Amino acid sequence: MKIIKIIVLVLLVAFVGIQFISTSRNLSSTVPKTDFMLVNKVPTTIQNKLQISCYDCHSNNTGYPWYNKIQPAAWFLEDHIKEGKAELNFNEWGEYSDRRKNSKLRSIISQIEDDEMPLDSYTLIHTDAKLSEDGRTEIIAFMTQLKNDL
């Protein structure tokens, strides 16, 4: 009994302790000229879908959920966002060469086709980010067109 008490206490203190470890936050109030929506003519419906389903991890500005400051959730988020941005940053679209745009578009299409993006762990909480069958078809058609026009 005593040992359980100690363990719980240790965990509790550790939990409080890790709250002091800060994480870098992905926030930006400006949208650069190189943003995907500014470089391309994107229909509003698709703009909205991309904004809701992709931009949290694939741009310089994340709409953080309420638990974003609580560790260890914050680490988990930070990691995902870092990885997501390294892979594809919609804000930097205009800086990509045509060759890379082509690669990125191909990956976007294949990820959405295979239903791998948005991540399940993301849509679990952001239920509105989950793409419907129609939404997916729409985005894939748009991205394919963009790729063919390169």
Partner 1 sequence: MRKLKKTIGILTMTLVTLTAMSCKDGKKEGAAEPMSNEMHQEDGNNQDGSKQMANAGSNASDAIIDNYLKIKNALVADNQEKAAEAGGNLVADFDDFDKASYSSEEQQELTDIIEDAKEHAEHISESPMEHQREHFDILSKDIIDMIAITGTDKKLYQDFCPMYNDNKGAQWLSASKEIKNPYYGSKMMGCGEVQKEIN
The site for partner 1 (CB under 8 A) is made up of 6, 9-10, 13-14, 17-18, 21, 97-100, 102-103, 106, 110
- Give the nearest distance from C-beta 150 to partner 1 in angstroms: 13
80 vs 105: CA distance, rounded Å: 20
| Structure-token pair, residue 42 | 């994107």
- Give the nearest distance from C-beta 26 to partner 1 in angstroms: 18
Taking the least distance from each CB to partner 1, the nearer of 13 and 141 is 13
126 and 51 Cβ atoms separated by less than 8 Å: no
- Give the nearest distance from C-beta 55 to partner 1 in angstroms: 21
14 vs 149: CA distance, rounded Å: 54
Q: Kindly report the backbone phi and psi dihedral angles of residue 13, in degrees, each rounded to the nearest multiple of 5, phi listed first.
A: -65, -40
- Give the nearest distance from C-beta 96 to partner 1 in angstroms: 9
Taking the least distance from each CB to partner 1, the nearer of 2 and 41 is 2
Taking the least distance from each CB to partner 1, the nearer of 49 and 57 is 57
88 and 59 Cβ atoms separated by less than 8 Å: no
